Amino acid sequence: MSGAPERKAKSPALAALLILIGTGVAFYFLPRVMIALGDVSPWLAGMFGTLLVLGFFLLFWLRSRYQRNREG
């Protein structure tokens, strides 16, 4: 079972990469979505942008808690 330590080392990096790619795509489309929502309501556009940014940090916070509980 020589692949187990190598897999353990790559798993967090792969998860972080996938999270960053996913949020990168979301942030790429953020201005278009906010402009479209701003036509309906400026408050709605602001809330959407705020929730997306907070969601990015929440995702990493939840991931760190999961990793900490899994190791200890």
In this predicted model, what pLDDT tens digit does every residue of 10-23 receive, in sequence order?
777 888 899 889 98
Name the pTM for this structure. Answer: 0.69
Question: Which residues have C-beta within 8 Å of that of residue 49, sequence separation ≥ 6?
Answer: 30, 34
* pLDDT at residue 54 in the model: 94
Which pLDDT value is given to residue 23?
Answer: 86
Residues 6 or more apart whose Cβ sits within 8 Å of residue 19? 59, 60, 63
Please identify every stretch of the chain with a pLDDT value under 70, giving residue numbers as ranges.
Answer: 1-9, 72
Q: What is the pLDDT of residue 5?
A: 60
